[in-house]
Amino acid sequence: MKEFTPISDYGIVGNLETCALVSDQGAIDWCCFPYLDSPSVFAALFDGERGGTFSVAPAQEYESRQRYLDRTNVLQTTFTTAGGELTLTDFMLASGEPYAEDHPADAVYRKVTCTEGSVDVHVEFEPRFDYARADTRVESTSGGVVAEAGEESLFLSSPVDLAVEDAGDGDDRAAATYPLSANESHWFVAQYGSHEPLAGGTCDGLLSDTVDYWREWAHPCGDDADGTENCLLEGRTHDLAVRSGLVLKLLMRRDTSGICAAPTTSLPEDVGGVRNWDYRYSWIRDGAFTVRALTHLGHYEEASAYLDRFLDLSKEFHPDDIKPLYSMDRGEDLTETELSHLSGYLDSAPVRAGNDAADQRQLDVYGELILAIYQLLWAGREIGEDDWRAVHDIADHICEVWDEPGSGIWEVRGDEHQFVYSKVMCWVGLDRAIQMAEELDYAAAEERWSAVRDEIHETVLDRGYSEELGAFTQCYDDDTLDATGLLIPLTGFLPPDDERVRSTVDAIREKLATEEGLVFRYKGGADPLPGEEGAFVLCSFWLVDALAVTGRVDEAEAIFESVLDYAEPLGLLSEEIDAETGRLLGNFPQAFSHIGLVNAALYLAEARLDREIQPFGSHSFEG
């Protein structure tokens, strides 16, 4: 039975519609076709026996290491054996780009090269369609083998004959072991829904084109630039920020511009527990954070397209009907199901498909929507009258519902509560709507909005701040600390030099953070689920942000560097970190974590330059 691979031993490749996780053992253990939120074709990540995998690796013992070709999403795994060295290059075409038009884009391209000596290569091809629920038949065919289940098919173009055998339980597999000598290369291409034999020369050309595509797209400044770009970031921080941008691009669906929270489902926050969620969807709450990261990495087109998605949602739905998250194609039905036939990563069950948080009331999303739209002003975009009507309707709706309970940014399962951060974001929504009305000279109910904004502010200060704790709390009249308190100075709700802000940062640093600066979202409070989760990577970067804006730059820098040490060798970050062992936890790679890294780096860069850092949503960064 295939053993579980640590999350930190995976890299990711993708085609701007879906992604594949590739382990340092040469195994594709998670991949969904044709889209990120489609059912899986390979899911050994969640069940080594049933899930399905596609591996290319030496047949003998080896040591391995992974790297990306510089400033690309082309992944290389190098295997060293007693008899030689093997390099496996994995990539997918950038779907929709001209160079990819006449070739299979719903495909993983795998080039195996012997660079030294001689190595016996073992290939194993075990697709399992529909989250391994469908019986998968594999048959030999011209140029390779084809796997089929119902109307789905996956053709493996192979340069060697693969033996097909019964894998049991109604499924088949195909495998081969063969020698490869120095300077020899072979191509394996797994194509979903197509059957196109591909010559090695064609694949080599597509590899070169894919490398060029990513290098042209990646954040341009650094050692490879011509020196004309004035970048605020440098060294390891710069490299990890570039990698973060490349990750976000992989998680962005080309035709809808939605960015998923992560390309995986159900990687556990608590190993062996039930805190396993499907993150293959696009959350509104991520909007403003994402736009800031993308724009300051120079990816204005992606930021603008991403914001258009929010504008379309705002114009299409009444505010009360706007959901916290949508599928990548903006579908609304994300009904949660349990895949009970899969054992789960490290036996952490259930494995889920869908996410019932889509039906929650999360009042903070209204502020996030307006804040994200407000940033259009700084992306060089006009906010037209239709756009403004959507903003106006949301602001009016905030006035109606801000004082009601909800599930909050952390999507707490169970009873609704009066979450302080939700109220703060309602304040932000009204505040930015008022600013937009004034700047654009659009008609607005400014008197009403201002009155409600002031009422929210007064209520949060009265019921959301605990004199005993010396901090803002998770809920009204509560004694639970919550890491969202770190965002209060970043939103402009209070200035950084306010004593309540400083004491909140101190309290969270003391009671929710480890010595290394890893921050837990909260401890206890409104969360009814069993088990304990790890430290939340994004919250750790929020601590860096809060320290930087409150003038504690050296401390912020030290924590930032400490958190960066937890990134896996390829520079990828998960949702959470086990504070005791350093093990990566939760879905991977996590967009929120990479967004947090970029934004924290920018706050630190601003603080080092002694620039006045403006509230979130203002245009203050250059370069």
- Say which residue, 17 or 233, is predicted with more confidence: 17
pLDDT digits (tens, 9 = 90+) for 449-498: 999 999 999 999 999 999 999 999 999 999 999 999 999 999 999 999 99
How far the first Cα of the chain sits from its last, in Å, is: 51
Which pLDDT belongs to residue 228? 37
d(CA 575, CA 588): 7
Peptide bond into 127 cis (omega under 30): no
- Say which residue, 231 or 552, is predicted with more confidence: 552
pLDDT for residue 225 is more than 60: no
Residue 298: which residues within 8 A CB-CB, separation 6 or more? 219, 220
Residue 208's Cβ-count burial label (10 Å; 0-12, 13-18, 19+) is exposed
Which pLDDT belongs to residue 226? 42
Q: What is the mean pLDDT of the chain?
A: 93
Task: Quote the pTM value.
Answer: 0.95
Which pLDDT belongs to residue 614? 66
- Say which residue, 304 or 115, is predicted with more confidence: 115
Q: With CA atoms as reference, report the closest residue to 476 among 523, 420, 524.
A: 420
pLDDT digits (tens, 9 = 90+) for 367-418: 999 998 887 776 667 888 888 999 999 999 999 999 999 999 999 998 999 9
Q: What is the mean pLDDT of residues 431-440?
A: 93
pLDDT for residue 271 is more than 50: yes
pLDDT digits (tens, 9 = 90+) for 588-613: 999 999 999 999 999 999 898 877 66
Which pLDDT belongs to residue 616? 64
Distances (CA, A) of 319 to 2, 324, 342, 368, 406: 48, 11, 38, 13, 15
d(CA 548, CA 559): 11
pLDDT for residue 224 is more than 50: no
d(CA 420, CA 539): 16
Lowest mean pLDDT among 47-51, 168-172, 234-238: 168-172
Could you tell me the pLDDT band of residue 1, with boundaries at 50, 70 and 90?
Answer: low
Could you tell me the pLDDT band of residue 430, with boundaries at 50, 70 and 90?
Answer: very high
Please give the CATH number for the structural domain made up of 237-608.
1.50.10.10
- State the alpha helices, DSSP H only, in 168-234: 200-217
pLDDT digits (tens, 9 = 90+) for 350-374: 999 999 999 999 999 999 999 988 8
Structurally, at CATH architecture level, domain 7-217 sits in: Distorted Sandwich (2.70)
Tokens 């062996």 -> residue: 272
Which pLDDT belongs to residue 592? 95
pLDDT for residue 447 is more than 70: yes
Contact between 83 and 60 (Cβ < 8 Å): yes
Looking at the chain, which residues constitute the CATH 1.50.10.10 domain(s)? 237-608
pLDDT for residue 578 is more than 90: yes
pLDDT digits (tens, 9 = 90+) for 530-557: 888 999 999 999 999 999 999 999 999 9
Which pLDDT belongs to residue 384? 85
Which pLDDT belongs to residue 618? 53
Looking at the chain, which residues constitute the CATH 2.70.98.10 domain(s)? 7-217
pLDDT digits (tens, 9 = 90+) for 121-150: 999 999 999 999 999 999 999 999 999 999
Q: What is the mean pLDDT of residues 170-197?
A: 95
Q: Of all residues in the chain, what percent carry a pLDDT higher than 90?
A: 81
d(CA 417, CA 290): 27
Q: DSSP assignment, residue 269? A: S
* Token pair for 32: 């969904």
